Amino acid sequence: MSRLVVYLILALTAGVSSFFIKNSTVVNMTAGLSVGLLIPIFDEIVKNWGQLRHIWYSIRYRRKSIRVSTSYLFRILVDGKYLLIRGSRYVNQFQPVGGVHKISPQGSSTLSAMGVTDDDLIPVDPARYSDIRVRVPGKMIAKFFHWFDSREGREDSPWREFQEELVATGIVSGVNFPHIMHNYLRREVDAIRFSEYADSLEILVADVYELVPNQDQQNELRQLAASGHPDLVWVSAQQIRRRGATPGQAQVIEIAAHARRIL
């Protein structure tokens, strides 16, 4: 971000200077410098687009309250099929393993100083306590995401939800899954929108990880896929895109919309 500011200042200075300098050679040099800086300026804008967008939100929606929910999701892919698990709130719906990030006491203090409050859309129970599902003052959106990107005072590993949803429930064994290897794939930050469900402006954030199983883990997952476990489904990318529908067949499962993020 600081580079972008420097490039903009240099380009502006060079452009303005060319109007006051009479020497044609110097004018051509300053004009050339100004034009030449357009490429790095464009490159920096692309790199910092998310941050610039949040700065714009902080200005445009400074008097609004914005609901922000951040989560992490697992892509678990075996033999071309994606594993989805039955939802806890919507038991007829299947979704990726994962959940909402948690916040530490340090992070809670930081957010309180920003005026961030708990979201009242979903009742807070012990399982949802300290979730990063919050209401952020519009003017603090850029500052909130700067804090979130710093990873200070918040959960920074996807292991907890994997352990709670698959290991602790006995769906997979602790013998083969005492720990996991995973790749971080990407972060998806949705553009701000009005949510009828939340009756407010909303920004949804999802970090997507990919499980990298060792041979024993892969073998167990294959056995799990063949077992027909009632709380799991193994589906194709097309089924995820179509929310569980299969052309020419009656729809027997419903897949959550956010499952598309793991594709």
| Whole-number pLDDT of residue 125 | 59
What are φ and ψ of residue 129, in 5° steps? -65, 135
Query: Which of 148, 160, 150 has its CA nearest to residue 74?
Result: 160
- Of residues 102 and 123, the one with the higher pLDDT is 102
Assign 137 a pLDDT band (cuts: 50, 70, 90): very high
Q: How far is CA 93 from the centre of its chain?
A: 21
Q: 134 in helix, strand or coil?
A: strand
* Those residues with Cβ within 8 angstroms of residue 208's Cβ, 6 or more apart along the chain or in another chain: 72, 73, 75, 184, 185, 186, 187, 188, 261, 262
Query: Which of 220, 191, 221 has its CA nearest to residue 204?
Result: 191
Q: Does pLDDT of 81 surpass 60?
A: yes
Rounded distance between C-alpha atoms, residue 100 and residue 15, angstroms: 48
Rounded distance between C-alpha atoms, residue 51 and residue 141, angstroms: 10
| Whole-number pLDDT of residue 14 | 46
Q: Does pLDDT of 192 surpass 90?
A: yes
For tokens 């290897």, name the residue. 181
| Whole-number pLDDT of residue 123 | 67
Q: Does pLDDT of 2 surpass 70?
A: no
| Whole-number pLDDT of residue 128 | 62
| Segment 175-189 mean pLDDT | 97
- Of residues 64 and 91, the one with the higher pLDDT is 64
| Whole-number pLDDT of residue 9 | 52
| Whole-number pLDDT of residue 153 | 95
| Segment 88-114 mean pLDDT | 92
| Segment 59-68 mean pLDDT | 95
Rounded to two decimals, the pTM is 0.80
Q: Does pLDDT of 149 surpass 90?
A: yes
Assign 10 a pLDDT band (cuts: 50, 70, 90): very low
